Amino acid sequence: MSAKAFDAIVIGAGQAGTPLAGRLNAAGMSVALIERKLIGGTCVNTGCIPTKTMVASAYAAHLARRAADYGVTVSGPVGVDYKAIKARKDKVSGASRTGLETWIAGMEKCTLYRGHARFESADTVRVGDELLTAPKIFLNTGGRASVPDLPGVHDIPYLTNSSMMDLDVLPSHLIVVGGSYISLEFAQMFRRFGSEVTVIEKAPRLTGREDEDTSAAIQSILENEGIIVHVGAGDIAFARKGNEIAVTFSADKPPAVGSHVLLALGRVPNTDDLGLDKAGVEVDQRGFIVVDDQLRTSVPGIWAMGDCNGKGAFTHTSYNDFEIVAANLLDNDPRKVTDRIEAYALYIDPPLGRCGMTEAAVKKSGRRALVGQRPMTRVGRAVEKGETQGFMKILADADTGEILGCAVLGPGGDEAIHCVLDLMYAKAPISTLARAMHIHPNVSELLPTIAQELKPLD
């Protein structure tokens, strides 16, 4: 069988693959775009868009229950129609996916292939009965939930972040195994929908990559809403108990028994079934594709973007990967991965916005640093909104004034963090933030005040 020739093959129609196909097509290249499941990848179908749509529903329910705090009368108890919540989520997610499909269909020289792609050689890919070849191949195959081989895990009907999106009944008691970002977002939203929720985390604290004060504040926020949190869990095991599921995690504590179990124990890359060995593409011990600073793999003519390369696990890092590849290939602009500053959010309520280094990382670096912090109880806008959980913290280099990092855990924290992030990209010193005039009343208006009150980091 002779292979169909293209200028480029893009495997995976996620947050890097689809826009790259568009850029290549606009540059006059013929492109084969291959997707084995749903257009849009994790973000559109099982990640950001559907989950944040559900977070919005959960916030509405939570605020309605607190109506009396604001002098608002709601007659009768606040109810939740979970089928309607799911239908709203499906509508929003589906509209985004349809928009992408329409865009792809309008690309003049782009051919969409539905199926599982596997390498036959470094420049040839098979999709079903089709054989495709191109001098440039781009991988954007994403990742999936990790399911460790824990005792009894395969004897129960566990859920992952993906299968949670198909759930059409509200769990009476959701047990969440894992205490990081995905798990905590689901824990809080389902608690607000009316489920009993238990979180079990084997590490000594939740969100282990954050500073200890941030982790403690996050746990307090969840526990204040009635979520049961167990950290430092021992040997975790699962077993059926009638129509329910029992999760054991400590010899001196009774097992948690619930109707549903969500496993949120990390992600693994979708690289094990691509035939990478036939192409000679190198992967690391965890299965991530090894790339350089411009996202080139070990094989000339093959690039890897998004979750499959281990350089980031977020939609924004995946999209930035696309921008880096496109800039180098099409714009004569030598962008690279190490240009970017780590930034992300945890979408519990109130949300956490984070950029740059944590306090622990700054201490480990050995550099002299300054720190400023203020609780949300002293932020006027948070008090006015009746949402005073959390705090803000800024770190700066004591010798150069370079802004090293920031955390905003509080109302609008996922938005306010960009005040600091953009200054970091501009390489502006902390004095620039200290002298800025921000709008009042606003959560971010306290960032300049904090910058004026920095003290040596112990």
Residue labelled with tokens 């047990």: 175
Our answer to whether residue 230 is catalytic in this structure is no
DSSP 8-state assignment for residue 296 = B
Packed helices 82-105 and 48-65: angle between N→C axes, nearest 10 degrees: 150
Please name every residue paired with 409 in a beta bridge, in sequence order, or none if there are none. Answer: 352, 391
Q: What are phi and psi of 268, to 5 degrees?
A: -125, 150
H/E segment holding residue 151:
none
Q: Which of 62, 154, 418, 440 is catalytic?
A: 440
Six-digit token pair at 17?
């693959």
Cα distance between residue 200 and residue 236, in whole Å = 9
| Preceding amide of 350 cis, omega within 30 | yes
Cα distance between residue 186 and residue 55, in whole Å = 8
Residue labelled with tokens 């069988």: 1
Write out the DSSP string of 4-33.
Answer: EE-SEEEE--STTHHHHHHHHHHTT--EEE
H/E segment holding residue 155:
none
3 state SS of 144: strand
Cα distance between residue 357 and residue 206, in whole Å = 18
Six-digit token pair at 203?
């590490």
- Which of 437, 394, 389 minimizes the C-alpha distance to 412? 389
Q: Which long-range contacts (CB under 8 A, 24 or more apart) does 151-155 make?
A: 151/235, 151/236, 151/237, 151/238, 152/237, 152/238, 152/239, 153/238, 153/263, 155/238, 155/239, 155/240
Please name every residue paired with 391 in a beta bridge, in sequence order, or none if there are none. Answer: 375, 409
- Note the Cα 384 to chain centre separation in Å: 30
Please name every residue paired with 304 in a beta bridge, in sequence order, or none if there are none. Answer: 139
β-strand pairing of 343-346 with 130-133:
unpaired
Q: What are phi and psi of 14, to 5 degrees?
A: -95, -150
Cα distance between residue 380 and residue 386, in whole Å = 10
CA angle (26, 94, 306) in 5-degree steps: 55
Catalytic residues: 440
